Copies of this chain bind each other. A is one copy, B any other.
Amino acid sequence: MRIVLDLMGGDQAPDAPIEGASTALARDPDLEVAFVGQAQALAAARAATKNAGGRVVLVEAAEVIGNDEQPALAVRRKKDSSMVVGLQCVKSGEGDAFVSCGSTGALLSAGLFAFGRVPGVRRPALGSVFPNMSEPGKTWFMLDIGANVDATAEDLRTYAVLGSVYSRMVLGVPNPSVALLNIGIEAQKGNEIARQAFDLLKSTPGLSFAGNVEARDILSGPVDVVVCDAFVGNILLKGMEGLLMQLAAAIRRELRSGGPGVQLGGALTKSALSRALRIMDYREYGGAPLFGVNGPCIKCHGSSNGTAVAGGIQVATEFAGKGVLAAMAGALGVGTARDVGKGPGGDAAQG
């Protein structure tokens, strides 16, 4: 298994990708990593992984796609970017999966260009693992958190199926329950698309549909997979991030402005409070594939640290090694997808 890793993407590039790859290489003796990036980053990656010897490949790419660039345009123009070159490596069979902490939009655009869609998918989605806040150690999964802001009911059904396959094959949940994010649990709740999606999900064979779930409840992980529109999903996540930031600030303010007893208490509880406030930190959960892209493209959060990148590499290994793409196409009931990176090169079918 050879994972192609983008050295240039993310807030902590190239350090986090290098650290993540080192960890992953040490953990899995069968793993190979192809680093893609600029010369200096490649040199650093080589130096940091010299113990891995022949299991490391360096691929130079002179350009970098930034987070502020218009994705489709950047992908078209920067043919020698780490992202475009890295995906090409996978497409040509020199690697089994691509992992990047770079621009989501660019990865979607480049991934679709390289591999097309899984048959039966209209538009791709982004997902993420989240911690179960009531039972530390457990997790749940949500998609779409940032790709398709104009999802139809049929798109939501597609995401439910893809998320279910992913939860079972990669996250190891035997019979994943799937729920629709909604404003109430009753069948008739929600906007028009949610109501239509409820009916579609209810009648989808092979899906353990658990009905609607409210945003208030998802954090305690009552279901394994939560499905939503990217507009709603993104606003919900960003709102929670904002609330956590504000709350941390409010706690600091209260503790600082208290009397000597409160300040002593603040000092004594500092690390316990920090741990509690990190409880929703989903950026550490390693990354997830671009759902619906017919090739193994794993997106890690832009602020991923080394641990998160190592997790992303692990996800990529499972995703590519277990034939997840073929299973997804099968579950969508529209024939079998070719698992890109496992067969010969060439263009994948556009769904």
Contacts and interface: CB of A to CB of B under 8 A. Distances in A.
Interface of A: 133-134, 146, 149-150, 181-183, 190-192, 194, 214-220, 229-232, 234-236, 238-247, 249-251, 253-255, 258, 261-262, 264-269, 272-273, 275-277, 279-280
Given A216-B238, A239-B216, A239-B218, A268 B261 contact: yes
B246 A133 contact: yes
Contact of A246 (B219, B229, B241, B267): B219
Given A254-B272, A255-B269, A215 B235 contact: yes
Given A190-B149, A231-B191, A243-B243, A250 B238 contact: no
A220 to B, nearest CB: 7
Nearest to A184: B234
Contacts of A149: 183, 190-191, 194
Contacts of A255: 269, 272
B251 A276 contact: yes
A279 B247 contact: yes
B239 A215 contact: yes
B234 A235 contact: no
Most buried by B among A214, A240, A277: A240
Most buried by B among A194, A238, A241: A238
Number of copies: 2
Contact of A272 (B183, B229, B258): B258
Contact of A239 (B191, B220, B240): B240
Contact of A250 (B214, B254, B279): B279
Contacts of A277: 247
B234 A236 contact: no
A255 B272 CA distance: 6
B150 A192 contact: yes
Contacts of A268: 261-262, 264-265, 268
A134 B238 contact: no
Contacts of A244: 243, 247
A215 B191 contact: no
B276 A254 contact: yes
Contacts of A243: 219, 240, 243-244, 280
A244 B220 CA distance: 12
Nearest to A241: B216
A-B interface, 8 closest residue pairs, ranked by CB to CB distance from nearest: A265-B268, A215-B239, A265-B269, A216-B242, A133-B246, A254-B272, A216-B238, A149-B191
A62 to B, nearest CB: 28
A293 B249 CA distance: 39
Contact of A262 (B181, B217, B272): B272
A183 to B, nearest CB: 5
A267 to B, nearest CB: 7
20 contacts: A133-B250, A146-B183, A149-B190, A183-B231, A183-B235, A191-B231, A214-B238, A215-B235, A216-B238, A216-B242, A217-B242, A231-B232, A232-B235, A246-B279, A247-B277, A251-B272, A253-B276, A254-B273, A255-B272, A264-B265
A138 to B, nearest CB: 13
A215 to B, nearest CB: 4
Contacts of A190: 149, 231
Contacts of A279: 246-247, 250
